[in-house]
């Protein structure tokens, strides 16, 4: 089921009653809002005057909600997740930690092949040459020893924003639209981490990423094929008129936070991105347990005629 995303950018008191999240406001004329906790997937706290009760944090964790806190530049800094997201957790942790190198490499091959394919599909949709990427997506070997991922990225970033800027450089601290990309990826990562916990996996131990400072290596691995969807969302925002892309305003975030609802194809089925991610992480757990070989990975949707 697609869960709800709540974003708090104004002062609010958050508490709980009858398994509901109760939101009250400092202005007395504003009525209280109550939301079923089981319907929530992601909660973003982005104001210094948001007060949250411990009982509510506990209830959110119980329902496997990803609770995100933001810094004074409104970028996500922290992610609070459930410790026991799955009943067979111990068994799955063991399978994940004991996964052999060849298994991890084969999974990484599928992830990268799918990512390049989705990048190619996006380039095709914006009428850019995508032949090379499509070809490379079929040539990824186990563990991607030729680093086709980087080669594809070089071509991809060069072509993606040609209609909007002349000299786009992808990087964390580079110019716009990098700010939007970073924000979108942070949300994507939270969705991925939440799904991983829900599938009984540890987001910390990756199949490819292994930066000692990164607490979400597996989330970063599994979100790779989904990144082009963020890119497409950012592109569509840049195509809008009358929107200031230099400032991460609530207006801009509202568009970016639509991410979980975007339709993607999973095999022959159309699913919102957040639901597709749950299928992907569930299939990853099955692969690590040795019950299947192929991950369920997303593809770009063709428009409905």
Partner 1 sequence: MQTYRLNQYRVMWVMVFFDLPTDTKKDRRNAALFRKRLLKDGFRMFQFSIYLRHCPSRENAALHIKRVKKSLPPDGYVGIMIITDKQFGNMELFYGKKEKELPETPQQLSLF
Q: Are 33 and 50 in contact (CB under 8 A)?
A: no
Binding residues: 149, 209, 224
- CA atoms of 82 and 95, how far apart (whole Å): 20
Is residue 70 at the binding interface for partner 1, with CB under 8 A as the rule?
A: no
Is residue 157 at the binding interface for partner 1, with CB under 8 A as the rule?
A: no
Contacts 24+ apart (CB under 8 A), 119-125: 119/152, 119/153, 119/156, 119/228, 119/231, 121/228, 121/299, 121/300, 122/160, 122/228, 122/231, 122/232, 122/235, 122/300, 123/156, 123/159, 123/160, 125/232, 125/300
- CA atoms of 156 and 60, how far apart (whole Å): 39
DSSP 8-state code for residue 3 = P
| Residue 242: Cβ-neighbour burial (10 angstroms; 0-12, 13-18, 19+) | exposed
* Helix or strand (DSSP H, E) at 175: none
Is residue 10 at the binding interface for partner 1, with CB under 8 A as the rule?
A: yes
The residue (of 10 and 89) whose beta carbon lies closer to partner 1 is: 10
Among positions 180, 233, 248, 295, the unique one binding partner 1 when judged by CB under 8 A: 233
Q: Which span (54-62, 133-141, 155-163, 247-255) binds partner 1, by CB under 8 A?
A: 247-255
Is residue 36 at the binding interface for partner 1, with CB under 8 A as the rule?
A: yes
Tell me the per-residue interface mask from 114 to 133 with partner 1, x by CB under 8 A, - otherwise: --------------------
Q: Which span (59-67, 129-137, 170-178, 263-271) binds partner 1, by CB under 8 A?
A: 263-271
Can you spell out the DSSP letters for 185-212?
Answer: HHHHHHHHHHHHHHTT--TTS-SS---T
Is residue 299 at the binding interface for partner 1, with CB under 8 A as the rule?
A: no
Is residue 260 at the binding interface for partner 1, with CB under 8 A as the rule?
A: yes
Least distance CB 107 / partner 1 (angstroms): 27
The residue (of 201 and 257) whose beta carbon lies closer to partner 1 is: 257
Among positions 135, 210, 254, 294, the unique one binding partner 1 when judged by CB under 8 A: 254
Q: Note the residues at the interface with partner 1 (CB under 8 A).
A: 1-2, 4-10, 12, 18-20, 23, 33-36, 38-39, 232-233, 236, 250, 253-254, 257-258, 260-263, 270-272, 275, 301, 303-304
């Amino acid at each position: 089921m697609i869960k709800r995303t709540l974003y708090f950018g104004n002062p609010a008191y958050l508490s709980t009653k009858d398994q509901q999240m109760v939101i009250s406001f400092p202005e007395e004329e504003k009525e209280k809002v109550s939301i079923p906790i089981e319907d929530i997937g992601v909660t973003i706290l982005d104001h210094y005057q948001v007060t949250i009760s411990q009982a509510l944090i506990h209830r959110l964790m119980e329902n496997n909600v990803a609770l995100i806190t933001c810094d004074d530049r409104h970028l996500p800094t922290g992610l609070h997740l459930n410790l026991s997201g799955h009943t067979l957790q111990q068994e799955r942790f063991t399978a994940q930690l004991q996964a052999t190198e060849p298994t991890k490499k084969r999974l990484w091959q599928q992830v990268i092949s799918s990512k390049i394919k989705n990048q190619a599909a996006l380039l095709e949709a914006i009428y850019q040459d995508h032949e090379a990427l499509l070809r490379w997506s079929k040539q990824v070997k186990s563990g991607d020893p030729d680093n086709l991922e980087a080669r594809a990225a070089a071509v991809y970033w060069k072509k993606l924003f040609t209609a909007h800027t002349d000299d786009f450089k992808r990087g964390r601290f580079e110019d716009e639209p990098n700010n939007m990309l970073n924000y979108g990826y942070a949300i994507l990562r939270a969705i991925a981490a939440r799904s991983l916990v829900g599938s009984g996996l540890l987001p910390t131990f990756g199949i490819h990423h292994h930066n000692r400072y990164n607490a979400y290596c597996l989330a970063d691995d599994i979100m790779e094929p989904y990144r082009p969807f963020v890119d497409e969302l950012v592109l569509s925002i840049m195509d809008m008129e009358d929107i200031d892309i230099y400032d991460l305003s609530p207006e801009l975030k509202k568009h970016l936070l639509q991410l979980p609802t975007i339709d993607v194809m999973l095999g022959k089925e159309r699913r919102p991105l957040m639901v597709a991610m749950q299928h992907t992480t569930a299939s990853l757990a099955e692969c690590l347990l040795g019950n299947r070989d192929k991950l369920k990975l997303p593809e770009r949707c063709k428009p409905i005629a």
